[in-house]
Chain A
Amino acid sequence: MNRWRRSVGEIQARRRQVSECEQAQSALSKVTACYQQMATCLGSNTDGSSLREELEETRALAHRICTGMHRRLLALLAETEQVQEDREQVERMWVLFLCALENFQQDLRKVSILQETFPLGQRKDRRALVNTGATGGGSEVAGRAATVQTPWVTTEGEKKPDLKSHVLEIDGLLQEMLQRVNVPLWSVEPTQNAWGEGCGDAQDEDDTLEEIMEVEVVSQDNRASGCCNHSNCKLGCIFCLLN
């Protein structure tokens, strides 16, 4: 009954807000994924002050998205008169947001400890960095993260907290969210089926790790059995262009 009472404008506004939140959710996902990818470089030979700066920037971006989303979702959920399908969607977003926050917080903790374990202040610290075989830092990934836009205007200028307090802040946020809104976590149905992501969009011709590594074994064994004596030639004669 209430649905008919609300104006078209209201409904549209609400729908806009919901889609904003959806976009924010995917943006958050993107940012946290990039953050994680960069965090794996910490402590390795590619670690450096630039990497850490990029990490900070990404974290700030994530913080902005999080706070905005938190506020909007609360507002959406707080409305008592709900349309049914809307409610489900909003609840799902709520739960996914909680999961994302938790996941991000875990990464933050790891980063915080790693940064302490591998301080870059002095020259001798660089010798202690682990040689992992990586050559590039996470700058490409940082670039990707930087392209993420928050779907709302970023005039909400909240100061980004430093790492440790950020972790604690998320803790508090999670607690508060669980207490304020009574959404049972298990009531959320996923939209994706199991194994759905595998048979999805046309993947590019991406070699699996096994294939890449397998070839390596073969090439190691018969290094001399290339068709020619060129050191990089591993192919059969027919395709060899290195002569």
Chain B
Amino acid sequence: MTIRNVRDHGQRYRPRMSCLKKMEAVVLEMQDPKTGVKSQTQRLVITTIPHAITGEDIVEWIANRFKIDAAEARAMGTMMVAFGYIYPLQDHKRLILKPDTSLYRFQTPYFWPAQQWPVEDTDYAIYLAKRNIRKKGLLELHEQEQYNNLHKWMNHKWDFIVMQAKEQYRAGKERKKPDRVVFDCQERAYWVVHRPPPGTISGMDCGLERMVDPNQEEKKTSEYFRRIIIFTQQCIMRPRVKSSVSIGALVKYTTTYKQHDPFLYPCLPSNPWLTDDVTYWHLNMPNVENPTKMRVERWTFSFGELLSDPRGRADFRLFLKKEFSGENLAFWEACEDLKWGAAATMQEKAQQIYKTFLARGAPRWINIDGKTMEITVKGLSHPHRYVLDAAQTHIYMLMKKDSYGRYLKSPVFKETQKKAVAPEAHKFSEAQLEQNAKKRRPSLSPIILRQQEEEQKAKLAASGPVDITQLCRYTAPVPHLAVYTGICENQTTASPGLMTLPNSAACPSPISVAIDSTPASERRFDSGPTSSHFPSIAESTEASVSEESQPPAAKSRVALSLSRLLRRGCNAPSVFASLSPKCAVTAGGGKVQPLGEPLAQPQPKRIANFFQIKVDIPPECRIYPIDSEDEEEESPGAARGGVKEIICPWETVTKHDGAG
């Protein structure tokens, strides 16, 4: 008894393959003694067998019958062979029609592919056992594997299988020799079609099983009509577009993309499905160093194309890094991750995104308008997959309208274009094609590909795209930054604490953020030398901080506005002027320290990890916020080794009210 899997959700019906019925009709026509295909006798050593037909006769017959040219007739003939209605007598594993004198024969209807009964594994097991009896254990490799598998899965009926195989073998021997040969050929051909050996392309790929029998006519009950009515109503309600517009769009699409379509134009160097040569796939791997010219051309078609190609996205990321506006792309990617990721981590991810990109004082703050921000933040109190859609769309549009255009004119892109490869077309001879077909191998398993992807991501995270060039003593100072003291020494693992938001002029009020874990005593902000430089700053900051200081329990982290910085009379304006407005810049006063640092805190690793913003900065390079001193005195700017974390507003309702 066959143990049937009951968890198939009722999907037991094979998809309709309507071509089978049509093909059967054609095959029957071919049998006609007067108008059918000419048949010959196959001469073997031991006997002769009638009803052999040559490939060229088949092609000719089909071409005449359907009034088509030879190439199409050949294709149709190949289909008949691939489905198993005709089988080759020589080279039985290659199910193609050769338009020469190679011989074929018709398959008996018992072995025709049919919709009603799927090919059973039991039968295959019996066949393999029979072959084993005949060849005394010398089966082919794939047959041996199948045999072992089936023996494992059908262990309970193995006795039956062996018994049946023996009986079938003996029954077969009763027949006359020529008939035996014919039957053996037929059976072998049947199994080549339905259990193809590696390297054979069979035509029996038919997709998933269906829940409803597609071969059965649906009864027209009231349910059926109700469904039709609803469907038609929905059709009417759909928004319509003028045909001139839609056709125009189609024409535009086809003209743009036609050279990239492998059906219309030849792929360079060659289409692997046709020539079995996989150079094309190797050249177009997701993370290839130098992409092909065609691929680069695709990136210019639209922003969507650029983003959807991993190599293109990487190039764009590089460009944005140079422009210090990488946070937009990072945010967009983070939103994609949220949308498509696992539900279990959604809550965390949403929080991380908020903390890193959206909150005031966030390390990689993105610039979206107030209304969108409001909606998003409100939605984040009950996060779901699409909560960041509005913000993501906004940023996408921003990138598309702004950065994309500049990218296409940028040196990064021009460089990539220059280095792009334009492979030559292959010209394979017939013999070489056969050789290629023999060397066909399955591609990498998707598990391995996924692992490689993960490794790539981790590498990217480790090498970390930073929004601002790291200006520690290990890198050269950026010339346009007016002030650079480069004092990086004797800073311990103090974290940067505050970031000033140059764009927050609209709402300068400080965020009051509670530091949850580290007690005040541990929060030291080692900023010895800094205080000596800017005592004025310290004082004024102190003053300003104390205005808004919160109850001791709530350690506030003051976000300094541009105005406040100006008040302090530091070189801030020049600093800000020279830096890109999109950057979350620290109020570096005279000291512009690298910004990437907040993300490299040892303590709250979880904050920025999944954005891959972790930056490997030597501990000496720090960002020193202006009011580091007051942090030390007042409170707690950052823990030693810790940082003032941004807590999402819905978490700390009580402490949030004073923040204005």
Binding site for B on A (CB under 8 A): 25-26, 29-30, 32-34, 36-37, 39-45, 92, 95-96, 98-100, 102-103, 106, 109-110, 113-114, 117-118, 127-136, 138, 140-141, 143-145, 174, 178, 185-192, 194-200, 203, 206, 208-209, 212-213, 215-217, 219-220, 234
6 pairs, A vs B, C-beta closer than 8 Å:
A34-B171, A99-B157, A130-B27, A132-B106, A213-B185, A219-B43
Chain B residues, Cβ within 8 Å of A133 = 42, 49-52, 105-106, 178, 182
Chain B residues, Cβ within 8 Å of A187 = 156
* B39 at the binding interface (Cβ < 8 Å): yes
Chain A residues, Cβ within 8 Å of B136 = 198-199, 203
Contact string against A for B residues 141-160, beta-carbon threshold 8 Å, 1 for contact and 0 otherwise: 00000011001000111111
Chain B residues, Cβ within 8 Å of A194 = 147-148, 151, 158
Q: Do residues B168 and A37 form an inter-chain contact, with CB atoms below 8 A?
A: yes
B164-204 at interface with A (beta carbon < 8 Å): 164-168, 170-172, 174-176, 178-179, 181-186, 188
Name B106's closest neighbour in chain A (CB-CB). Answer: A130
How far does the Cβ of A127 sit from chain B's closest Cβ, in whole Å? 6
Binding site for A on B (CB under 8 A): 1-3, 27-28, 31-33, 39, 42-46, 49-52, 89-90, 92, 105-111, 114, 116-117, 120, 122-123, 129, 132-137, 147-148, 151, 155-160, 162-168, 170-172, 174-176, 178-179, 181-186, 188
Q: Do residues B1 and A141 form an inter-chain contact, with CB atoms below 8 A?
A: no
Chain B residues, Cβ within 8 Å of A41 = 108, 110
Q: Contacts A92-B159, A95-B157, A197-B166 known; A135 to B89 CB distance under 8 Å?
A: no
User: Which of A32, A109, A145, A196 meets B116, CB within 8 Å?
Assistant: A109
Q: 8 smallest A-B Cβ distances: which pairs?
A: A43-B109, A33-B167, A190-B158, A98-B1, A198-B132, A198-B137, A131-B51, A133-B51
Name B112's closest neighbour in chain A (CB-CB). Answer: A43
Apart from A36-B168, A102-B122, list 14 A-B contacts with CB within 8 A: A37-B172, A95-B156, A100-B160, A127-B31, A130-B27, A134-B183, A135-B176, A145-B171, A194-B147, A195-B137, A197-B165, A208-B135, A209-B185, A212-B181
How many Å lie between the Cα of A32 and that of B172 in the bound state?
Answer: 12
Q: Which of A40, A133, A215 has the most CB of B within 10 A?
A: A133
Name B166's closest neighbour in chain A (CB-CB). Answer: A197
Name B103's closest neighbour in chain A (CB-CB). Answer: A220
How far does the Cβ of A27 sit from chain B's closest Cβ, in whole Å? 10
Name A27's closest neighbour in chain B (CB-CB). Answer: B167
How many Å lie between the Cα of A30 and that of B32 in the bound state?
Answer: 36
Chain A residues, Cβ within 8 Å of B164 = 29, 32-33, 100, 103
Chain B residues, Cβ within 8 Å of A110 = 110, 114, 117
Chain B residues, Cβ within 8 Å of A45 = 51
Q: Do residues B109 and A33 form an inter-chain contact, with CB atoms below 8 A?
A: no
Q: Do residues A43 and B165 form an inter-chain contact, with CB atoms below 8 A?
A: no
Q: Contacts A96-B163, A99-B157, A194-B151 known; A127 to B32 CB distance under 8 Å?
A: yes
Q: Do residues A136 and B179 form an inter-chain contact, with CB atoms below 8 A?
A: yes
User: Which of B52, B92, B123, B171 meets A37, CB within 8 Å?
Assistant: B171
Main secondary structure of the interface of B (DSSP, over half): helix
Q: Do residues B43 and A144 form an inter-chain contact, with CB atoms below 8 A?
A: no
User: Which of B45, B162, B176 meets A234, CB within 8 Å?
Assistant: B45
How many Å lie between the Cα of A187 and that of B155 in the bound state?
Answer: 9
Q: Do residues B31 and A40 form an inter-chain contact, with CB atoms below 8 A?
A: no
Chain A residues, Cβ within 8 Å of B179 = 134-136
How many Å lie between the Cα of A196 and that of B147 in the bound state?
Answer: 12
Q: Contacts A37-B171, A131-B39 known; A102 to B2 CB distance under 8 Å?
A: yes
Chain B residues, Cβ within 8 Å of A135 = 50, 176, 178-179
Main secondary structure of the interface of A (DSSP, over half): helix
Q: Do residues B31 and A130 form an inter-chain contact, with CB atoms below 8 A?
A: yes
How many Å lie between the Cα of A143 and that of B140 in the bound state?
Answer: 34
Chain A residues, Cβ within 8 Å of B106 = 130-133
Chain B residues, Cβ within 8 Å of A129 = 31
Q: Contacts A37-B172, A131-B51, A213-B89 known; A191 to B159 CB distance under 8 Å?
A: yes
Chain B residues, Cβ within 8 Å of A206 = 134
Q: Contacts A32-B164, A114-B110, A132-B108 known; A190 to B155 CB distance under 8 Å?
A: yes
User: Which of A30, A130, A215 meets B28, CB within 8 Å?
Assistant: A130
Chain A residues, Cβ within 8 Å of B135 = 198, 208
Q: Which of A196, A212, A219 has the most CB of B within 10 A?
A: A212
Chain B residues, Cβ within 8 Å of A203 = 133-134, 136
How far does the Cβ of B29 sit from chain A's closest Cβ, in whole Å? 8
Name A96's closest neighbour in chain B (CB-CB). Answer: B160
Q: Do residues A37 and B148 form an inter-chain contact, with CB atoms below 8 A?
A: no
How many Å lie between the Cα of A113 and that of B24 in the bound state?
Answer: 14
Chain B residues, Cβ within 8 Å of A213 = 44, 89-90, 92, 181, 185
How far does the Cβ of A207 sit from chain B's closest Cβ, in whole Å? 8
Q: Contacts A33-B168, A37-B171, A195-B137 known; A132 to B107 CB distance under 8 Å?
A: yes
Chain A residues, Cβ within 8 Å of B156 = 95, 185-190
How many Å lie between the Cα of A203 and that of B89 in the bound state?
Answer: 26
Q: Do residues A33 and B171 form an inter-chain contact, with CB atoms below 8 A?
A: yes
How far does the Cβ of A233 sit from chain B's closest Cβ, in whole Å? 11
Chain B residues, Cβ within 8 Å of A117 = 109
Chain B residues, Cβ within 8 Å of A128 = 28, 31-32
Chain A residues, Cβ within 8 Å of B110 = 39-43, 110, 114
Q: Do residues B107 and A192 form an inter-chain contact, with CB atoms below 8 A?
A: no
Q: Contacts A197-B132, A206-B134, A217-B90 known; A144 to B31 CB distance under 8 Å?
A: no
How far does the Cβ of B487 sit from chain A's closest Cβ, in whole Å? 76
Q: Do residues B33 and A219 form an inter-chain contact, with CB atoms below 8 A?
A: no
How many Å lie between the Cα of A174 and that of B109 in the bound state?
Answer: 28
Chain B residues, Cβ within 8 Å of A98 = 1
Name A130's closest neighbour in chain B (CB-CB). Answer: B106
User: Which of B28, B176, B181 meets A209, CB within 8 Å?
Assistant: B181
Chain A residues, Cβ within 8 Å of B122 = 99, 102-103
How far does the Cβ of B178 sit from chain A's closest Cβ, in whole Å? 6
Name A144's closest neighbour in chain B (CB-CB). Answer: B174
Chain A residues, Cβ within 8 Å of B105 = 132-133
How many Å lie between the Cα of A88 and that of B247 in the bound state?
Answer: 73
Q: Which of B45, B109, B168, B176 has the most CB of A within 10 A?
A: B109
Q: Contacts A95-B157, A106-B117 known; A40 to B171 CB distance under 8 Å?
A: no
Chain B residues, Cβ within 8 Å of A136 = 175-176, 179
Q: Do residues B108 and A44 form an inter-chain contact, with CB atoms below 8 A?
A: yes
Name A34's closest neighbour in chain B (CB-CB). Answer: B171
How many Å lie between the Cα of A154 and that of B244 in the bound state?
Answer: 81
Q: Contacts A30-B171, A130-B28, A190-B156 known; A185 to B129 CB distance under 8 Å?
A: no
Q: Contacts A29-B163, A135-B178 known; A40 to B108 CB distance under 8 Å?
A: yes
Chain A residues, Cβ within 8 Å of B165 = 197
How many Å lie between the Cα of A55 and that of B147 in the bound state?
Answer: 31
How far does the Cβ of A105 sit from chain B's closest Cβ, in whole Å? 11
Q: Do residues B133 and A200 form an inter-chain contact, with CB atoms below 8 A?
A: yes
Chain B residues, Cβ within 8 Å of A100 = 160, 164
How many Å lie between the Cα of A95 and that of B3 in the bound state?
Answer: 11
Q: Do residues A219 and B44 form an inter-chain contact, with CB atoms below 8 A?
A: yes
Chain A residues, Cβ within 8 Å of B50 = 131, 133, 135
How many Å lie between the Cα of A188 and that of B92 in the bound state?
Answer: 38
